[in-house]
Amino acid sequence: MPNARLPLAAGLACLAVSVLAPPASAGTPVDKVLSYTCPFPLIGEQKLDVEVKASFETPSAPGGTLTTSDLAVSVSVPDKATRGLALVGAASVEGTASAGVTLVNGSLTKPVQVPLTVAKTALPPSGPFTARATGSVPQIVVPNAGKTTVTLGGFSTRLTPKKADGSFTGLGSFTSDCTLDPGQDAVLLSFEVGTAQSGYDYRVTGTTTLKTLGMTVPLTGSFAVAAQPSFSGGPVFDPASAEFKLFGFVPGTAELRFAPDGEQSGELGDGGFAVHSKLALALPRVSLFGLPVADPNCRTSAAFPVELRTGTGFALATGGPVTGTYAIPPLTGCGAFTASLSSFFQGEGNTFALVLAAH
């Protein structure tokens, strides 16, 4: 039985390794052979050669995606493994694997685990055989300009030989964690991402919700981001208005005018950004029962900070969701009802839910 374990583990681990490999540049084939060391029960460490063929669809600008296609892995398993499998009555072999791939893009180092499926492979009575596997490599956002590399790392396999009737052999299922042998060039792809834009301009649609009034206000506007030489940017909203019900039954309307007030700073991140904005809010028209209750100079007594962050699916080149929260300070300049209006509007937990679309 020990002699059967060795060829089986070695041959199947080889299969799982090769499935790992990610792809090459748009239209450019990648063909890579790498050596791995894999530990197996009873027989110790074994060296395996793995050939990887694939192709990448590379982005031309920061914020684009790296896409894998045409992943093809073929593993020639030697006669020694075939004979070992025959000793335990195996008629086929199958399993799964998880491969480690690392994207390095400027300051970003992004590890990615690629799940793989080792296809069920019928085994000949003797001689070598070829095994194949498939996997789905997720798209990866490439946020920065400059040199970018995709490197293959270690992998782990979970393999199962089976008899002709589909039952397990005496080996059951086993796991082997394999490491890349030192001194090899494991870079599968190296490419340049175009120089980052100096800035981005977006159209804005969305809403802001004032928690104390339970009022949701539709918003439009623009959003400019300066990416170089240092990040800055923020929203400019058009005047907006909405209805609300005070105490749940008193009908009211309000016009809201958000305006930048103070430094607008931020940071570029993994394909998106965070903005630290300061806004002032004017309320030139507020009415209850259709009667005006605020002077035209009604406004917040101070500018307030707003943290705005891009969300899942955002790309610098096209836009996407942006959310944020803010607290409204006390109001001033509203006339005789300043204190009452201030108590209705001020408070924490207010939100922005925006969608940015690149011009």
Note the pLDDT tens digit of each residue in 139-195. 888 888 778 898 888 888 787 889 999 999 888 887 878 888 999 999 988 888 876
Amino acid at 317: A
Task: Please state which of the ranges 83-97, 185-199, 341-355 shows the lowest mean pLDDT.
Answer: 185-199
Taking Cα atoms as reference points, which of 246, 189, 228, 155 lies closest to residue 69?
189
Largest CA distance in the chain: 97
pLDDT at position 4, please?
Answer: 37
Amino acid at 279: L
Taking Cα atoms as reference points, which of 243, 62, 258, 84 lies closest to residue 161?
84
pLDDT at position 305, please?
Answer: 94
Mean pLDDT, range 296-324, rounded to an integer? 92
Predicted TM-score (pTM) of this structure: 0.50
Q: pLDDT at residue 7 above 80?
A: no
What pairing do the DSSP bridges indicate for beta strands 30-40 and 174-180? antiparallel
CA 19 – CA 241 distance, rounded (Å): 57
Q: pLDDT at residue 9 above 60?
A: no
Q: Which helix (H) or strand (E) holds 111?
A: strand 108-122
Average pLDDT of every residue of the chain = 81
Whether the Cβ atoms of residue 189 and residue 30 lie closer than 8 Å to each other: yes
Exposure string over 186-224, b if 16+ CB within 10 A, otherwise e:
bebbebebeebbeebebebebbbbbeebebebebebebe
3-state secondary structure of 310: strand
Contacts of residue 260, Cβ cutoff 8 Å, sequence gap at least 6: 234, 235, 236, 277, 278, 279, 280
